[in-house]
Structure 1
Amino acid sequence: MMHYRKGDNIAKETKKEELPFKDCLPKGQENFLWMHVNGGTKVNNVITYAKNALDKGEYRTIVWSGHGGGVVKTVSCAEIIKRTHPLYQVTRMDYKITEEHWLPIMDNLEEIVVTRKVPAIHILMSLEAINDVEGVQKPNTKTDYWDPPGPSNSRGFNQRNGTRRQNQQYHGQRQRKFKRKENQQKEDADENVVQHDRNQKRKHKKSEGNSDNRENKKTTEPKNT
């Protein structure tokens, strides 16, 4: 990596028609409010904007989207706004494609592009009824989306302290597993960059060696008299 400098990160923008809600978007709600959340988003600002849009009747459906460091804030926004509005909710997980560009600082080296898949979350919330959809959460109910697999438990986290600890342990394991996978992807990408750098250096060294051999051959050839 010593022969490269960090370039731009280019994220593939997701379009409205690419959101994973084709099977559950309420009829007539194609023109929904799409709220993008990232790690630096002010939660109070976006919540106030979304509430005003619902209260004024400008929109009846909202989609919250966030990726990477914005996932936690995306979930927080959804949890806050459904306290004041009877919203149906559908949560879907996805990936956002990001390209990292590495620019060479030496001649005879090529630009390296590393593609990463960043975890993303999309939360559909609507005042219109959403029925017959897997994973739908109706107003004033709890979701089992984040619960570990196993026998159904209508009381979720509030059943007993033991259950709460088990759920916390399960989610902790999921977070650690996800972190290990993310680190492994980063290590693999860095290894690819290093291997590419080695190949380029080997290729450059070989071309220099061939050039030196041709020069030596020219100097050792006897002159015709």
Structure 2
Amino acid sequence: MMHYRKGENIEEEITKENLPFENLPKDFLWMHVKGGTKVSNVIDYAKKSLDKAEYRTLVWSGYGGGIVKTISCAEILKRSYPLHQITRLTYKTIEEQWEPQMEGLEQIIANRQIPCIHILLTLDEVDEKTNGLQKSGNKTSFWVERSANDSKSNQPSGSGRNRKDQGKQRYGNQNKNSRNPNKPFNQNKPPQQKQQRPKPPNPEPMDS
């Protein structure tokens, strides 16, 4: 791509009519989340709309770098309201145009498929046969398994004595008295003989 310059990007437009949900109400709040969206701002706006009873259903949509924040917004809002959830995953087409910088070269057009997520949250009852339904107050199997694993990892492995015994079995007894731990350390060494210093000779009497 040395002799090409990146041109315009044409993104596929997503409208309310082609959202991947059936039986959507006529009036609902549609929240678009991007990578640079501030989560606290959109959450406050959504809460005000629900508190004022302006909407009973809202849809969170995000793609690319905004998918993680889209999921976070839905999970945070569910903590404050008894909302039923329906999740859909789709793809969005982005057309990239590359313009030639030399004569004889043609324009290159590349199509990329970007993953998108749409999360519908509603206060109204939803048919239990709906695919991807997560009813209010329920957790998906992923969160149930994760919570169980977290609770197991937080449990203590045993008393202090048991952990000490496990450490001995794993690393071995590193006590200095490894030969016989029931005896003092000095008993494992041979007795040392005291060296006697030679006595100085008696002084001889001097002749007068």
Is TM more than 0.5 here? yes
1:85 aligns with 2:81: yes
SS in 1 for 2:133: coil
| CA distance in structure 1 between the partners assigned to 2:151 and 2:136 by the alignment | 27
Contact 1:157–1:163 (8 Å) recurs in 2: no
| CA distance in structure 1 between the partners assigned to 2:152 and 2:94 by the alignment | 38
Q: CA RMSD in A?
A: 1.9
1:108: how far off?
2.4
Question: Percent of counterpart pairs with the same letter?
Answer: 55
Partner of 1:134: 131
Partner of 1:160: 149
Partner of 2:140: 143
Runs of 4+ in 1 over 4 A off after TM superposition: 161-164
Contact 1:4–1:102 (8 Å) recurs in 2: yes
Partner of 2:18: 18
1:7: how far off?
1.1
Normalized per residue, the structure richer in helix is 1
Partner of 1:123: 119
Of 49, 72, 77 in structure 2, the residue corresponding to residue 53 of structure 1 is: 49
Contact 1:100–1:114 (8 Å) recurs in 2: yes
Listed as ranges, the gaps of 5+ residues in structure 2 are: 154-208
Contact 1:87–1:125 (8 Å) recurs in 2: yes
Over residues 81-132 of structure 1, what are the superposed CA-to-partner deviations in whole Å (9 max), with x where a residue is unaligned?
Answer: 1111110000111101111110111122221110000011000000111122
Q: How many residues in Structure 1 have an aligned counterpart in Structure 2?
A: 152
TM-score of the pair, normalised by structure 2: 0.69
Matched letter for residue 13 of structure 1:
E
Matched letter for residue 26 of structure 2:
E
1:33: how far off?
0.7
Matched letter for residue 75 of structure 1:
I
| CA distance in structure 2 between the partners assigned to 1:163 and 1:8 by the alignment | 52
Listed as ranges, the gaps of 5+ residues in structure 1 are: 148-153, 165-225
**Greater gyration radius:** 2
C-alpha change, 1:159 and 1:6, in structure 2 (3 Å) is: same
Over residues 46-81 of structure 1, what are the superposed CA-to-partner deviations in whole Å (9 max), with x where a residue is unaligned?
Answer: 111111111111111000000000000000000001
| CA distance in structure 2 between the partners assigned to 1:71 and 1:49 by the alignment | 19
